[in-house]
Amino acid sequence: MSLLANLNPEQLAAVTLPNQSALILAGAGSGKTRVLTTRIAWLIQTGNVSPAGVLAVTFTNKAAKEMLTRISAMLPISTRGMWVGTFHGLCNRLLRAHFRDAGLPQLFQILDSADQLSLVKRVLKGMNVDEDRFPPKQVQHYINANKEEGRRASEAEAYDEFSRRYAEIYAAYDEQCQREGVVDFAELLLRSFELLSKNEILREHYRARFHHILVDEFQDTNRLQYRWLKLLTGPGSVIFAVGDDAQSIYAFRGANVGNMADFERDFHVENVIRLEQNYRSHGNILDAANALISNNRKRLGKNLWTAAGHGEPLRIYEAQTDGYEAHWLAEEVEALNRDGLARREIGVLYRSNAQSRILEHALFSAGIPYRVYGGLRFFERMEVKHALAYLRLIASSEDDSAFLRVVNFPARGIGARSLEALQEAARAGNTSLYNAVPQLGGKAGNALGAFVAMIATLRKEAEGLALPEIVEHMLAKSGLLAHFQAEKDGADRLENLQELVNAAALFVQEQEEPVAQQELTAFLAHAALEAGEHQAGEGSDALQLMTVHSAKGLEFQAVFVTGLEEGLFPHEQSRNEDDGLEEERRLMYVAITRARSRLYLSFAQNRMLHGQTRYNVASRFLDEIPAGLVKWLTPRLGSQPLPQPVLASARDAAIPKALPRATQMGWRIGQNVVHAKFGQGVIVDTEGQGPDARLQINFGRQGMKWLALEYAKLSAA
């Protein structure tokens, strides 16, 4: 069969482009991998290039392997001599071949992130640097960020004593790496770039060799990667860049969507081909994505379409609380499954990792198997396990596993030798590690004694506190919050720790009978059960949970995008960042285009977030989707005219039993009501009794109102 069979006109034009640099704007689901691999096969088959003259850059090893497999299936050639891989993989290959010129030992080793952090800590210790002022994780981030911008320590900004010290640490770290013959991931690219920059003979050799350079996911390249590609491009070289500016969602990793516009200018690109025919989603889903992304000003522009028909409208669900939302989702998933849709064909997406906790709880309670894709379930996350270990020690000083987990986290100068001595003392005295601490003297005994004293204080202060207050107090006094606040990338971990407070509050609410003094022990048992082997195994029919970032590149028959509230999605941090809101909108575009046939969008009027109840406004992204494409499953508060309520009985059934069902005033929290002036709303709180009674009501766009019951003149919706 011809290589070009079954290509649509735009795909065919891209595959058979003349020898000029080109930009292929490939929309979601438009067959870009097929275009890339067919382009390589066509170039080889037509004699435009030999296999050894191709350099193809991907962003994952999985994508590189898939590309090589597809090429082998198309042509009877060996792909061994082809340079196909990730930026880091190709740079490693280059440095291995020219290690002397690069100033590296032949058998240089590559540090992963954990190894790099360990080396940073050793450097800080050797320089007698205070880790409170210069946290190792922050130093690691500083070094990598500078390398990814192409800056050595001598070129790093040093405008005051603090920044000069950072630059000195960076220089000492580089010297230590050179002594040990090791490189980190960022160094692979920087060292490779420097090698090609300084060695003209080598640079010209590779420019002459690689006539055709193909780059996948071009929108995700950072500045140094783009400069590396430019270095490899000679007068006879052609770059075939494939990407989608609407799916550029990795600015936090250094991705620069502006590289696409720079590429057009720097390489005098005459051929910009738009792959707009989508082979994944129905028309209504694509129309929603197109309408949403059209609100971004910085875009190269394209419009996805499909021959598959309009399909079903998008379904929007407005919940009173995040608990309602989670229970509704669980019921809807089971309804889809009863109708014949496999659970593995359903994706549940959320903006923040911490959101998974309430969803996992609802799924666990309903007995629905699920997997957290690309991450850990809530109670398995490192910071949550640390927090639970502190709580276990408060509950019982005999828990040696919990003791060992947190005795030196955050760091307290308690090393391996001190712990070995403590374990020996515990064995000799046939007692727990906690109780063996008084037997140790010296510096180790003092450090361990301070830790034990802190746990004893926490235990005493926990007396009389409610369970959520115990968790909150422990997080502050143990140093966990301060530790992750000091980390450059600690925001997600802090959100998860605050979500643990919410988990404790929900646990108390859901108890049918008070558990009094046993509350903490019961909660720890509950956490252990939910963290047990309940996650579905690989290959089983399980619901797929993930962040929107993790969902890129995936697709599902049905998709739920949850938590669509201002401050959550779009995230509140986007207000303080250049291009922040536009990147959030691109992230929403990615979420929408994961769905093939059915898409659910949901939000909650109030949500427990960061340990507090937040009253929310629906995400602006919902307003950016044309009304004709959506079907509201619940009445939209504050909008006129109101759509007819749908699935009301399912909504009522989804109310978590922890919510109060009624008040002494005859109204219940969560009940829909109508007010003559403010329109339709939902009761979120009550206060007082008799003539002084008041109701707090969320009137959507009219805002939150406290109304005296005596004069409110409300009617049930």
> Which residues are identified as catalytic?
32-33, 216-217, 247, 594
What gap in Å lies between CA 598 and CA 282, rounded to an integer?
Answer: 8
Please work out, in degrees rounded to the nearest 5, the angle formed at the alpha carbon of residue 224 by the alpha carbons of 218 and 225. 35
- How far CA 8 is from CA of 2, 276, 379, 439, in Å, comes to 14, 10, 47, 78
Please work out, in degrees rounded to the nearest 5, the angle formed at the alpha carbon of residue 144 by the alpha carbons of 142 and 145. 65
What gap in Å lies between CA 508 and CA 597, rounded to an integer?
Answer: 39
- Concatenating the DSSP letter of every residue in 3-72 gives TTTT--HHHHHHHT--SS-EEEEE-TTS-HHHHHHHHHHHHHHTTSS-GGGEEEEESSHHHHHHHHHHHH
What gap in Å lies between CA 25 and CA 233, rounded to an integer?
Answer: 21
Single-letter code of the amino acid located at 309: G
Encoding tokens for residue 471?
């968790």
What gap in Å lies between CA 677 and CA 88, rounded to an integer?
Answer: 62
* Sign of the four-CA dihedral 96, 102, 108, 112: negative
* Sign of the four-CA dihedral 617, 619, 624, 625: negative
E strand segments, 563-699: 595-609, 612-615, 630-632, 672-675, 679-687, 694-698
3-state secondary structure of 400: helix
What gap in Å lies between CA 29 and CA 302, rounded to an integer?
Answer: 13
Please identify which residue in the block is written with the tokens 């490899």.
232
Closest CA to 647 of 329, 343, 321, 311: 329
Nearest-10 Cα torsion for 507, 513, 519, 525:
-60
What gap in Å lies between CA 269 and CA 610, rounded to an integer?
Answer: 48
